[in-house]
Structure 1
């Protein structure tokens, strides 16, 4: 459920099943939703067992009006502790296990096929996965395939050499110093632009470098140990390794101090600073930007969009003021730390030890799971076609499209009947909604991997070759028409996203699986599950950040000042509500960081609930509702929403999530929107004074 406002580099297959029962359909009854949760009516009024709502997971010792997170899934939470290899555990992880089983069979079949046509997608997928699984070969190779790159860095003799290596590492995706790429110009979405943004940090957040609280100190100490141990694996003595670790930390701390925090990064205007290449070169002289762009195939660019000018000013100072030896050490570290699974096991073990401090995980995922994720991130569309054939029939795609059309219609009605938005702003909002592009399941046009060579000689060579190929694919866009067929997630991914510059919502086939989406389930379950996600992504276009883009994806203020002020005031109520949530002692949710996702949850659920009501009226008649498993459709809708967000999470991972993740923890994504919805109160007969019920004065109302 991402809001992609910058180039997205596809990573490992997302982690993400609950049990599905059997469904039958039949008689319709007029029911009292206030009592249906506890007392089912006579048999003729009730349908058969429903799919996707697991009754055994419900904790009936808890009132739904006091804590719906515990009521909806308390038994499941008690019976499903986090496995040793995970930092959190929920329905996405369970669906991911099932998806991985399908993908593993496809990959192992390709890897075992000696007759695959040379240069074919099947051959490339098989070779990539097989080379990654060859742990014996990795140990035997040692640093053989890394040494040429390390030697190149070791041979740098001047700042000009460092600048050349910095350009090369951009093509290899190591993360050194900053991030850059080609993406739609956010103020002119009909053309591509070169964008640059802050980066270069190896720890998850700038605060870990700058704060001295116990959590930050623990992570920083573990990071220094990780650095030291890795340099020792590269052949350094204890003393030299320690010195190099300190050099890296010192340099990255300077970058961290110049970096904007995550809340500040949510302002799209502040991150849009277009300037000529000549002006950028003047402001950041030690980057040699014109030469860097030329080296990397972007010499034709006359302008760049700089995300954070103050960061790049400091980066320029760092390049000039830092001793050459320390710059070389940093570049070596960025390279090595970006490829630990492509090196002997000791390197990935060190990386995992550092990750443990952040996540609390007890053991690494097995090698095949890591290689499956890597193959999906690199060649996901090459075998994604096979996955789609197995897991996503055309009928499922059509049902999903129908749901989306109903939800879009509901959103339009909410805009039209909005009581605080003026007519000019409403018309712009409706125009944006009408222009929204919808992508379901898989791309209409698949990626062409013909220029990418993959062999079984070396997994590291494959990783670097794939990164350089991906970089070339990105820069080839510059100067050409906007490619609106491109996807930023692979078909098996269990996630979805909204892209403001493209004004599109995308739902990969991996997400459109039970229990998130089940064509055989009743509408209430599907609308509460994947429907909630559809509404979430759709309303990202109207959250505090997405609303700043127009129907064509341009960063443009189309709100009247009064409407913008009213939206900000109403959104601020949501921010205050979430900032009051505290899952751990002295740890509160950051209502500003999570604002966009919270607004999308709340607004999305509101419009989807209305869409479901229309669907039920058409199916059963106005005011008539069936019972399934003793629950009304309205109750099943909210239960479905909640059961797919139940999550057990380790304290370490929860602390890191609150610091770095724009999504609120699962328990607050469950109850936060419902506490603002009178529809929820009515469905479960909640009364004023109960914890799930906010007073009119405290309740947020947006759409």
Structure 2
């Protein structure tokens, strides 16, 4: 469980007049509504059913629609920037030069294919030369500095108990499947994924010179080691326990209890000067320490070879890319690979995101949208305060602390005030692999420089162009990048019902994360510290338990149910976000009126907007993986789940007993 950040949503807003936008777009897709479906039976399909029946998922994608899939058209905007700057005569050392040349280096597949696996050969040679346990651990440490993490996942972020200081953290690692359960489940879909993964590892060995028999034997060794490591991994649900995943320990202490890992030497080798470290999941490192004795050294070398090839497969020749894609198909269901332009657009955003973000903001972002969205954020804050004041299950003393935290939330909109510096990065158009290494090393130096230093609260955890949003409990902040400030989430020309049901719901969702089952354990300064009375927290736990049980009843695919405990934080935020956004909407002039637009009342338009922002269609393979690993509920249940608990929705669409999603009032879950 790395740094807790709740990712959810983002937008581009082209600067055009309100009249022009209004003429071009209908904010409610009236023709797309399906009157054959009662709103109380399935509101998601009532609003999106006709679209869902006709929408086609591209062969190189796992889904289509809003939410994260809005990043597909978003990346076309980024691609247009990259196509332009990669062909320009840029000033050496400028962000345009770095971005353009990195993109061009990755587009040169002819050169990449000629090199085969030569770029990674020096690393494989170093693995082959390992002749002792200390040499093995020194290799692991050196590779951490290059972004090649295998058995140890190292990071730097705020101290849970003192959020003003950055400390070192280590997390469970070492496995190639999505999470530990994939090694132990016996259902047919999981077994197919296991088979695909073993084939992938076997193929990587063959691509680097092993014959079929040796590659198969080596893949079995790798999988066996990973499965042993997985036995000590916590489940996705267990990782949600904030206190159970924070163990700040003296380095001298863990050096004695896990002597084979050699923590003092390892930390010195990665340049981390510290006398303490947060070992988030100690059981994993205890298991690793034991396996370093029981697993033969040669088997560890085989494991490290596979792990290294998996890390760099996407940066090598087409055979490695094909192998990686084939394994990924088992998880995503995608039929064909993305184009090289798509892949490189994603890679530039991943490696040079704030450099590319600067170019994106200059070209596409309307600065006036920041002011408009900030007003919505402030209105939702007031609405949230009112809801806290009116809670019947919380004492006045806890309400006071909750409101202090609410108004201490930092609001970040559009893009960072301070851009990331890439001056130390050297980029060449001719060497893609080496460019990736340079960027990885720069990123490690950037992180390491923050160890034991005051936390820089101006930092962002996402790139400006990404369609997302998040709440970070250690910073007590909500972040809405430029990417999500666009339709269907936000539009200057839209009426308040549309915007409050869109970006308003997103804002309310992120604010509620400050008070979900995890966020509620952090105080206003971002420290894990109890600010509740014992009785209030017990009542809160009872209510979140009710919500977890409700969502666990929802069926997604055949017999696959949602995991209510895994998705609890996001479901709490969805339910709270809709309620807070609705209350804020009712403060507006439109919210107080009954005037219809397109035949719908203001309240109805608010709820139609909510269903519209989750207009998503995915492949079954992707959805199955999503339910097993993602803390968010699938799109349909991000609409239907909260609305079945929300009385104003019942009134707006006359939901009655007998409707499939009707719940008696005493069975509706209300937390915030």
Give the TM-score taking structure 1 as reference length.
0.92
- After superposition, the C-alpha distances for 1:640-671 in whole angstroms (9 at most, x for unaligned) are 11112122222211111111010111111110
Paired residues of 2:160 and 2:474 also in contact (CA < 8 A) = yes
- The answer (yes or no) to whether the contact 1:180–1:195 under 8 Å persists in 2 is yes
Q: Distance in 1 between matches of 2:383 and 2:149?
A: 42
Deviations 1:297-330 (A, max 9, x none): 212x010011111111001111222111111111
Aligned-partner Cα distance in 2 for 1:9–1:49 = 34
Moved over 4 A (4+): 7-10, 13-18, 21-25, 47-50
Counterparts of 1:446-457 in structure 2, within 5 Å, are 446-457=419-430
Deviation at 1:80, TM superposition (A): 0.3
Structure 1 residue 514 displacement after superposition: 1.7
CA distance in 1, matches of 2:452, 2:220: 43
1:657 aligned residue:
626
Find the residue that maps to 1:146 and give its secondary structure: helix
Match of 1:354 in 2: 327
Does the aligned pair in 1 maintain the 2:10–2:469 contact within 8 Å? Answer: no
Query: Which residue of 631, 650, 663 maps to 2:600?
Result: 631
Q: Which residue of 2 aligns with 1:231?
A: 205
Q: Determine whether 1:81 maps to 2:56.
A: yes
Q: Considering only aligned residues, what root-mean-square deviation do their CA atoms show, in Å?
A: 2.2
Distance in 1 between residues matched to 2:348 and 2:539, nearest whole Å: 47
Structure 2 contact 5–471 (Cα < 8 Å) conserved: no
CA distance in 2, matches of 1:555, 1:273: 12
Instruction: Give the aligned partner of residue 283 of structure 1.
Output: 257
Structure 2 unaligned residues grouped into runs of 5+: none
Distance in 1, Cα, partners of 2:265 & 2:61: 44
2:165 corresponds to 1:191: yes
Aligned to 2:70: 95
Which residue in the other structure is 1:644 paired with?
Answer: 613
Cα deviation 1:61-93 (Å, max 9, x = unaligned): 111111101101100001103221112222246
Identify if the C-alpha distance between structure 1 residues 550 and 94 changes in structure 2 by more than 3 Å, giving closer, same or farther.
closer
Instruction: Measure the CA separation in 2 of the matches of 1:181 and 1:313.
Output: 19
**Following superposition of structure 1 onto structure 2, how do residues 347-496 of structure 1 map, counting pairs within 5 Å?**
347-496=320-469
Q: Call closer, same or farther: CA 1:24–1:671 in 2, change over 3 Å.
A: farther
- The two structures have a TM-score, normalised by structure 2, of 0.96
Show CA shifts across 1:225-281 (max 9, x none): 111111100110111101110111011001111100000000010001111001111
What is the deviation of 1:57?
2.0
Asked if residue 572 in structure 1 is aligned to residue 541 in structure 2, the reply is no
Change (3 A) 1:50 1:103: closer
- Residue 39 of structure 1 aligns with which residue? none
- 1:152 is aligned, of 126, 138, 142, to 126
Contact 2:10 2:481 in 1 (8 A): no
**Partner residue, 1:118:** 92
Correspondent of 2:107 among 117, 133, 139: 133
8 Å Cα contact 2:221-2:303 kept in structure 1: yes
Q: Which residue does the alignment assign to 2:175?
A: 201
Query: Is 1:590 aligned with 2:563?
Result: yes
Tell me which residue corresponds to 1:297.
Answer: 271
CA distance in structure 2 between the partners assigned to 1:59 and 1:448 by the alignment: 50
Q: How many residues align?
A: 669
CA–CA separation in structure 1 for the residues paired with 2:648 and 2:564:
24
Is the contact made by 1:51 and 1:522 (CA closer than 8 Å) also made in structure 2? no
Rounded to whole Å, the distance in 1 between the matches of 2:12 and 2:482 is 14
Residues 173-220 of structure 1 show CA distances to partners (whole Å, capped at 9, x for unaligned) of 233013111100011101111111101111112111122222221111
Conserved? CA contact 1:132–1:371, under 8 Å: yes
Shift of 1:48: 9.4
Find the aligned partners of 1:601 and 1:174 in 2 and give their Cα distance. 36
Matched, 1:262 2:220: no
Contact 1:65-1:686 within 8 A present in 2 as well: yes
Separation (CA, whole Å) in 2 of partners of 1:315 and 1:57 = 55
State how far apart, in whole Å, the 2-side matches of 1:116 and 1:247 are: 49
Whole-angstrom distance in 2 between the partners of 1:118 and 1:22: 38
Cα 1:573–1:17 shift into 2, 3 Å: farther
Secondary structure of the residue aligned to 2:156 is strand
Q: Look up the SS of the partner of 1:614 in the other structure.
A: coil
Contact 2:348/2:356 (CA < 8 Å) preserved in 1? Answer: no
* In structure 2, distance between residues paired with 1:187 and 1:106: 42
Q: Return 5+ residue gaps in structure 1 as ranges.
A: 26-46
The one-character-per-residue Cα deviations of 1:80-121 (angstroms, maximum 9, x if unpaired) are 0322111222224663233222211211112112x3121211
Aligned to 1:696: 665
Residues of 2 paired with 1:482 and 1:634: CA distance?
A: 43
CA contact (8 A) 1:16 1:92 kept: no
2:561 is equivalent to residue 602 of structure 1: no
Matched with 1:212 is: 186
Write out aligned runs for 1:23-34 (5 A).
Answer: none
> How far apart are the structure 1 equivalents of 2:610 and 2:109?
42
* Separation in structure 1 between the aligned mates of residue 131 and residue 523 of structure 2, nearest angstrom: 49
Take 1:173 and 1:9, find their aligned partners in 2: how far apart are those partners? 24
d(CA) in 1 for partners of 2:521 and 2:629?
A: 23
Deviation of 1:163 after TM superposition, in Å, equals: 0.4
Q: For 1:377-407, what per-residue CA distance to the aligned partner results, in whole angstroms no more than 9, with x for missing partners?
A: 1111112112112222111110010000000
SS at match of 1:287: coil
Which residue of 122, 140, 161 maps to 1:166? 140
Distance 2:209 2:667 in 1: 61
Work out whether 1:506 is the aligned partner of 2:479. Answer: yes
Q: What secondary structure sits across from 2:405 in the alignment? A: helix
**Does structure 2 retain, via aligned residues, the 8 Å contact 1:153–1:165?**
yes
| 1:668 is the counterpart of 2:665 | no
What do the CA deviations read for 1:332-373 (whole angstroms, capped 9, x no partner)? 211111122211101010111111111111111111111101
Q: Is the 8 A contact 2:11 2:465 kept in 1?
A: no
In structure 1, distance between residues paired with 2:142 and 2:52 = 47
